[in-house]
Structure 1
Amino acid sequence: MPTPPTGTSVVRAINARAALRMLLDRGPLSRPEIAALLAVSKPTASHLLAQLGESGLVKSDGNRDGAVGRAAELFRANEAAAYAAAMDITPERTAAVVTDLTGSVVGSFSLHADDDTDLDPAAQVQRALTGACAEAGIPASAIRRVVIGIQGAIDPTSDRLRFAAHLPGWQRPGLTAALQDAVGAPVDIENDVNLVAIAERAHGVATQEDSFAVLWVSDGIGMGLMFGGRVHRGLTGGAGEIAELPVPGAPVPQEANEFGASGMQAMAGGPALRRVLAEHGFTAESAVQAMTDAVAASGDGAASALDEIAARLALGLSSVVAIVDPDLIVLAGDLALAGGERLRSLVQHHLHTSVVARPPVLLSGLDGNPVLDGALQLAVERVQGEVLDTVSGGQSKPASDGV
């Protein structure tokens, strides 16, 4: 840990961190631009850049040609000063990406479940991380932090993964500690839908909202909650586990404790929605394809199927809205996206007829893998914060081992 700055070094530390923050957020800047943005003199800006350069956090980015006068030298954050990794783990595969300090992805790797069925969680994570680092051209020891998205929730009181019977071997106590020992860096295990909420707020449809809920509709059903710009995890990490929510018409866990046989999962999880679609004539190799076919159809069968599905989703959402009163509901997951605007409008209609508060319901605005997207956002945010914390009022400790 760096020595806390005192006296005038407090101001220097604040300015140095602010300069690095601007370079991370805005990209290359010149000395005069940094001086103007920080409201400091040009000599002070030069000193800050020299300090950050000696620490390996900032480097020259060439010159910018100007219309009048000599070209201005540009400076940017040293992307190689620190690295982070993000993973999305499902029963089918482990996807891993490595990002540099600026948030640019420099390596990726995917480990399929059938590649090695004997891997325990620590070996699985280590192998995926090593593969992504190899593509990035860096050793795995260069990784400063790993964020893992998973279909479950870590209980912080026991360091045990809950709601994850579909991931054999991952329910062991002390899971986070075991993973950290394996990779040699801090590891954060985060619920997958919580990460989708983080990604939605970063650059999805919730960029202007501080409090909203993401309803994930796929084979499993889940929810991510954000209050005041922060993910709400709850006392044991299980906030938003809407699959367990008791709803009228579905068995309660005491009656059917098998996963997917009770609560909201039994009413509106992927298998249940696929049955609804089949009952109305839409059979396909997957629930997503059946949903896509129903949305494209114009007959009474399609209208009835989509209306019933929307009513089921709205039933669960009505309890959430009554208690949480979010500013916005975001529909995400492959089944929700396959339902598209047609399903979204029906969900909003049914929800607004059943609750006093009427939050808008929007479709997710994310592309690609939203879980991995959110894990990257969180990993980069935390590593950048750690690097900024190393900057002192005089010399800064190097942010890496010179990789």
Structure 2
Amino acid sequence: MATPPTGTSVVRAINARATLRLLLDDGPQSRPDIAARLLVSKPTASHLLAQLREDGLVLSDGNRDDGAVGRAAEMFRVNASAAHAAAIDVTPERIAAAVVDLIGTRVGEYVLSTPEGHDVEAADGVHDALAGACAQAGVPLSALHLVVIGVQGAIDPASDRLRFAAHLPGWQGDALTAALTERLRLPVEIENDVNLAAIAERAHGVAAEHDSVAVLWISDGIGMGLMFGGRVHRGLTGGAGEIADLPVPGTPTPQESPGFGTGGMQALAGGPALGRVLAEHGFDQATPLDALRAAAASDDGSADRALDEIARRLVLGLTAVIAIVDPELIVLAGDLALAGGERLRSRVEAGLRAAVVARPLVLLTALEENAVLDGGLRLALGRVQDQVLETVSGGQRTAD
């Protein structure tokens, strides 16, 4: 195990961690590259690399042949298999899992179906989905350093109980994180799914250049993720952004009608409610998603009226958010947002400009893959990389 660095080993530890961070961020480097970028001597760079190789964190990547005269420089890279992280995306229909190595390459995926009527206990479902992803990755479950689980709800930090998630059978009860940790024998973090989508948007989506962002997730359920200064805002009890329970005119409050989807913003603008709006205007396809796609593709006047009504409902909830949070950007995400496309986005933007003084930019997500898994993997990987960096000492090691 690594011992806390003391004396001159503090400097060695700082430099060794900086070397590993450089390789994690920028890929393979040569000794001269590392020496130049860290402002250390070439012999020092050699010692740092030797230490990291001894620790199993860095490997030789062969010699670089760039056509220059003289001896080709030996390249070094992170040992990607030195650590792994995983993320889970939970919906009522399935549990999706993915595994990444230490440099963020996705090496395994698995989807466990959880159809209605076949309730799966949270710990069992997560275990089976992770086992499937690890099998594809060729690593044991025990190789995972952290699992981040995205759920349609929020963990109460006081009771460790999942709130706003009556629609997820098997995920109720106190001490949920503790139960999952015990079943998996791994560190576990539970995060709201839209918060994870917001992390993905901020990392490489349309929110990459924005400081304050509200991601409105429009799907079967409606939710929101908030980010300020590049950090997720969760609130005191983890429920920041739970817009589904926002009281709005024309619907019962969640207290008056506690069943899932029967009150608040969810009753006004969740998937089932939008499906009814579309059906009333002649778009009665099998699912709200299919109906919205049909309306967005139609040039009939009834499609305009349906999209106007959907936008009006979304604007009603967003005006309350803008009045309090005043974000510089609102991102419309989720399968229904994508189905509505530009015709829905432009209506939401126009509605907000007419309703509130603040005029945030309204953009449609451009992320093509599962944004919840993407954000979960980014959060887990960042945590694991930090953990690995903390194990790097100044070269002093003791036996386990």
Alignment pair present for 1:268 and 2:241? no
Q: TM-score, normalised by structure 1?
A: 0.96
Stretches of structure 2 lacking an aligned partner (at least 5 in a row): none
- C-alpha separation between the residues in 1 aligned to 2:179 and 2:263? 33
Given residue 239 of structure 1, which amino acid in structure 2 is its aligned partner? Answer: A
2:348 aligned residue: 347
Shift of residue 272 of structure 1? Answer: 1.0
Q: Is the 8 A contact 1:98 1:132 kept in 2?
A: yes
Q: Is the 8 A contact 1:149 1:190 kept in 2?
A: yes
Q: 275-284 or 115-124: which moved more? A: 115-124
2:34 aligned residue: 34
1:97-135 deviation per Cα after TM superposition (whole angstroms, max 9, x unaligned): 111111111111111114993642212111111111111
Shift of residue 380 of structure 1? Answer: 0.5
Aligned residue pairs total 399
Shift of residue 396 of structure 1? Answer: 6.2
Map 1:1-400 onto structure 2 (within 5 A). Answer: 2-67=2-67, 68-114=69-115, 117=118, 119-395=120-396
Shift of residue 271 of structure 1? Answer: 0.9
- C-alpha separation between the residues in 1 aligned to 2:121 and 2:44? 53
Q: Secondary structure at the match of 1:353?
A: helix
Measured on the aligned residues, the alpha-carbon RMSD in Å equals 1.7
Q: Is the 8 A contact 1:246 1:264 kept in 2?
A: yes
1:261-301 deviation per Cα after TM superposition (whole angstroms, max 9, x unaligned): 11111111111111111111111011111111111111211
Q: Secondary structure at the match of 1:197?
A: helix
- C-alpha separation between the residues in 2 aligned to 1:88 and 1:115? 17
- What is the identity percentage for the equivalent residue pairs of Structure 1 and Structure 2? 69
Shift of residue 241 of structure 1? Answer: 0.3
1:152-208 deviation per Cα after TM superposition (whole angstroms, max 9, x unaligned): 111111111111111112111111011111111110011000000000011111111
Q: Is the 8 A contact 1:390 1:397 kept in 2?
A: no
- C-alpha separation between the residues in 2 aligned to 1:71 and 1:139? 38
Given residue 84 of structure 1, which amino acid in structure 2 is its aligned partner? Answer: A
Q: Is the 8 A contact 2:194 2:372 kept in 1?
A: yes
- C-alpha separation between the residues in 2 aligned to 1:227 and 1:347? 22
Q: Is the 8 A contact 1:161 1:171 kept in 2?
A: yes
Q: CA 1:41–1:237 in structure 2 vs 1: closer, same or farther (change >3 Å)?
A: same
Q: Secondary structure at the match of 2:214?
A: strand
Q: TM-score, normalised by structure 2?
A: 0.96
- C-alpha separation between the residues in 2 aligned to 1:210 and 1:254? 34
Shift of residue 397 of structure 1? Answer: 8.3
Stretches of structure 1 lacking an aligned partner (at least 5 in a row): none
Q: Is the 8 A contact 1:217 1:333 kept in 2?
A: yes
